[in-house]
Amino acid sequence: MSSKIESLSQQSKWKVKNRIHFPKKLKVVLYGSVIPAFLLLVWQILSMVGVFERHLMPAPTLVLEKIISMVADGTLWAHIGVTLLRILIGFTIGVVFAVVLGSVIGYLKRAEQLMDPLIQGFRAIPSLAWVPLFILWMGIGESSKIMLIAVGVFFPVYLNIVSGIQGVDRKLIEVGKIYNFTPFQLIRKVILPASLPSFFTGIRSGLGLGWMFVVAAELMGASKGIGYLLVVGQNTYSPDLVLASIVMIAILGKLTDSALKAIESKSLHWQDSFGKQS
Amino acid sequence: MLSLKNVSRTFNDGSTGFKNINFKSEKGEIIGLLGTSGCGKSTLLRVVSGLDIEYTGSVKINDDLIKAVHEKVGIIFQEPRLMPWLNVVDNIGFGLNDKKDKQKEAQTFVDLVGLNGFGEHFPKDLSGGMAQRVSIARALITNPEVLLLDEPFSALDAFTKMQLQDLLLKIWHQYQATIVLVTHDIDEALYLCDRIFILRGQPGEVYKELQVPVSRPRSRGDEELAKMKATILDLLDLSQVENGESHDDIKTTTTK
Ligand SMILES: Nc1ncnc2c1ncn2[C@@H]1O[C@H](COP(=O)(O)OP(=O)(O)OP(=O)(O)O)[C@@H](O)[C@H]1O
Ligand SMILES: [Mg+2]
């Protein structure tokens, strides 16, 4: 036992060391940047040599210039702000509905039998097919866009919550039953924490879809937003604007996902999984 | 205390499970259940614990008929079954209602099972023996009068197993709970129990009841115990001949 204790405390010392060891993290970032940097370089060279024509595929430097000019005249922030707000509202609505419905349906067999076939049926419809209907109902304004995003976000979150709850280890639930937990206590103390990992999987893929649908919604008619910039770029023959918008979407998508990922690994630090090995 | 009268619980049209189990425990008695795999030992524990209430006959704890999980029952499973998102202290306090001194109470049990300094660790950082210590503490914190153990140490190495057996005895001295212990390990049963029931058959029935007339503290190498072990092995060998089944789960390293 004592040797075990020793080795364990040693282990935890090691972990602490690793955590403060910053260069390792930096190394990972650098490692991940090698290929993108190389591709950018190739793109730049090919543009300068003239293989890529400027009016079709402008060089990275030109795209960067475009972004900087939009930052300078302030238009970029306005467009990003509008897009972020839409995705935030749509995402929140989608997640809230998915959590409520998913929890009830995951926990109660009856509710599943009643509701799940219907929801699965709706899931089979590509979300974009709703667009005409939403526009007819709500016009081309904000509500139809937000609705589309919410619908897109709903399904991955819902599916993951239901399967997360249904997949909770029966053995852990039995431990709760030994202490005479009420259903409510059982949900709060066992089922919810145990299904947290799949909840995070759900909202992360939901967010990915949210970005897809916000762009789709803005492509279909908007006067502001990153998707709108794409349309403007297309109509004014400015590939630099299109590429700049795409880069912005990539950056924002990555940032928001990283934020969720950070929250996830903080909340799930107790998980003992392969991906967490340091 | 704990009393069972004509208790049966069968599955698959009466072909598996157990039937006609009768016994009455003394206060603070340690009862061992030995038997071949599949003869219904775990099922019996689930019935006694109140997790499985579709039995016939009567199971009583202090004259309360068991119809749901009784508050005076504690159970320790074969696997620790810790909540991976709770640290050691919170896992131990898992069964307590949320009250102010919950943390403090859990802390005293951390010390009781010899995990001082590990209160903040999470289950993923515990060895198998430490995790089982946590689950012992979690079962004890509600102060059960009947403690049920289903092969609690079978997944542990021989050395850790002996340490935890001694820990169990120490705790039993302190709390004087009635203990029902299911095990495959004849030495373990002989070292810990006052009375041993040998179950046999499909569905399982009590085949033999043995008193262990050796006073505690017992020595693991006790001659009397060694004789009893031979008897038990004979009993189990006999059943093997009669049924023509294999009992590879019972250690047949005979000491002849
Ligand atoms: N819920 C159930 N439904 C149907 N059959 C069951 C159920 N639970 C247990 N059984 C059957 O009852 C029999 C006894 O099972 P049990 O787990 O009690 O055996 P055991 O004596 O604990 O065996 P082991 O020593 O291997 O743990 C087995 O044949 C099993 O298949
Ligand atoms: Mg069993």
Q: What is the DSSP letter of A187?
A: I
Residue A131 and residue A7 in one domain: no
At residue A277, the pLDDT reads 58
- Give the mean pLDDT of chain A: 88
Average of pLDDT values for B136-152?
93
Asked which of A52, A67, A94 is the last residue of a domain, the reply is A52
Residue A45 and residue A143 in one domain: no
Ligand 1 atom showing the smallest separation from residue B46 Cα: 18
Give A81-147 as a DSSP string.
HHHHHHHHHHHHHHHHHHHHHHHHHHH-HHHHHHHHHHHHHHHTS-GGGGHHHHHHHHTTSHHHHHH
At residue A153, the pLDDT reads 95
B52 at interface of A, judged by CB pairs closer than 8 A:
no
Residue A143 and residue A38 in one domain: no
Average of pLDDT values for A161-181?
93
Max CA separation in chain B (angstroms): 59
Residue A147 and residue A268 in one domain: yes
Confidence tier at A260 by pLDDT (50, 70, 90): very high
Question: How far is the C-alpha of B194 from the C-alpha of B196, rounded, in Å?
Answer: 7
Residue with tokens 């020595």: B219
Residue nearest to atom 25 of ligand 1 (CA): B37
Indicate yes or no: CB of B94 within 8 angstroms of CB of A177: no
At residue B245, the pLDDT reads 47
Residue A134 and residue A247 in one domain: yes
- Percent of chain A surpassing pLDDT 70: 91
Residue of A11, A174, A272 lying closest to B84 (CB–CB): A272
Indicate yes or no: CB of B77 within 8 angstroms of CB of A189: no
- Would you say residue A9 has pLDDT above 70? no
Task: Return the bridge partners of B48, or none.
Answer: none
* Residue in chain A nearest B144 by alpha carbon: A179
- Which residues form ligand 1's pocket by a CB distance below 6 Å? B 11-12, 16-17, 35, 37-43
Residue A36 and residue A71 in one domain: no
- Would you say residue A5 has pLDDT above 60? no
Residue of A4, A174, A271 lying closest to B84 (CB–CB): A271
CA distance readout (Å), B166 to A78, A274, B161, B248: 70, 35, 9, 27
Residue A123 and residue A194 in one domain: yes
Confidence tier at B249 by pLDDT (50, 70, 90): very low
Residue A108 and residue A13 in one domain: no
Residue A264 lies in domain: 59-276
Average of pLDDT values for A161-183?
93
Average of pLDDT values for B228-253?
62
Choose the mutation target among B47, B64, B76, B85 for the interface with A, i.e. most A CBs under 10 Å: B85
Confidence tier at A55 by pLDDT (50, 70, 90): confident
Residue B57 and residue B6 in contact, taking contact as beta carbons nearer than 8 Å: yes
Residue A267 and residue A181 in one domain: yes
- Would you say residue B79 has pLDDT above 70? yes
Confidence tier at B253 by pLDDT (50, 70, 90): very low
ipTM of the complex: 0.85
- Percent of chain A surpassing pLDDT 90: 68
What is the nearest CA distance from A176 to chain B, expressed in angstroms?
Answer: 7
Q: Which residues of B touch A189 (CB under 8 A)?
A: 83, 94
Asked which of A28, A52, A76 is the last residue of a domain, the reply is A52
At residue A2, the pLDDT reads 47
Q: A75-107 and A142-166 are packed helices; what angle lies between their axes, rounded to 10 degrees?
A: 40
At residue B100, the pLDDT reads 78
Query: Which tens digits make up the pLDDT trace of B18-60?
Result: 999 999 999 899 999 998 888 899 999 999 999 999 999 999 9
Q: Which helix (H) or strand (E) holds B8?
A: strand B2-11
Starting from the CA of residue B44, give the closest ligand: 1
Confidence tier at B256 by pLDDT (50, 70, 90): very low
Q: Count other C-beta atoms under 10 Å from residue B124's C-beta.
A: 14
Indicate yes or no: CB of B142 within 8 angstroms of CB of A190: no
Query: Which tens digits make up the pLDDT trace of A131-154?
Result: 889 989 998 889 999 999 999 999
Domain range summary for chain B, segments of one domain joined by +: 1-44+51-72+196-221+236-249, 83-144
Average of pLDDT values for A4-15?
50
Residue nearest to atom 5 of ligand 1 (CA): B11
Residue A110 and residue A228 in one domain: yes
Q: How many domains does chain A have?
A: 2
Give B17-86 as a DSSP string.
EEEEEEEEPPTT-EEEEEE-TTSSHHHHHHHHHTS----EEEEEETTEE-SS--TTEEEE-SS----TTS
Question: How far is the C-alpha of A158 from the C-alpha of A199, rounded, in Å?
Answer: 9
Average of pLDDT values for B105-120?
92
Beta strands at B30-35 and B178-183: parallel, antiparallel or unpaired: parallel
Query: Which tens digits make up the pLDDT trace of B174-196?
Result: 988 999 999 989 999 999 999 99
